[in-house]
Amino acid sequence: MLDRLLSENDCAECKLCCNFYEGEFWEVPVIDDDLAQLISGKYDFNLIGDNRVFKLNRDEKGLYFCPALDKNGCKLGDDRPFDCKLWPFRAMKLGEFIVITVSPLCKKVGEKTLCELSEFVGSQLTDKIKARVLKYPAHIKDYVHSYPILKVL
């Protein structure tokens, strides 16, 4: 989905989006019903609120890692959660609006201008995001003020 911006190698080297501190659990990818059925028996799940998520592995420093992460990146490949396919972009709720934002944490995407990212979102992601969040509203996160808004849906 993001091949024009990020290579698999970029992501496999970084892995920032695959680990979380306790205060970042809102970023843990939602496992929708379709994916849960596909990977059932291979991974354990937890609930955060009403949302099914991976049961994360915790290291000695208190950092939580996705169980699908290995040294080469995501073991799920094209079957990874929608939130993962979309990251560092997010669908977020801002008042009455759903907005598409970008995380300021992804260094590779951060090399692009907001104008370039807005054009990419408009041409490559808007329709896919809109269709997905209509089917699975759990993919909509609460707005985080440090995430620049690229598009209003």
Q: Give pLDDT, residue 49.
A: 84
- Which residues pair with residue 116 across a beta bridge? none
Structural domain boundaries enclosing 123: 88-153
Q: Is residue 36 part of a domain?
A: yes
For residue 83, tell me if it sits in a domain.
no
Give the strands of the sheet with 19-20, arranged side by side: 19-20, 64-65, 57-58
> Do 18 and 53 share a domain, yes or no?
yes
Q: Are residues 10 and 74 in the same domain?
A: yes
Q: Please, are residues 66 and 54 in contact by the beta-carbon 8 Å criterion?
A: yes
Residue 1 forms part of a structural domain: no
Residues 64 and 92 grouped into a single domain: no
Confidence (pLDDT) at 30: 93
146 exposure class (CB count in 10 Å sphere: 0-12, 13-18, 19+): exposed
Give the pLDDT mean for 7-31: 86
Q: Are residues 15 and 47 in the same domain?
A: yes
Query: Does residue 48 sit in the same domain as residue 106?
Result: no
| pTM score of the predicted model | 0.89
pLDDT of the residue at 114: 95
4-13, 82-91, 92-101, 130-139: the lowest-pLDDT one? 4-13
pLDDT(8) > 90: no
* Residue 29 clears pLDDT 90, i.e. is over it: yes
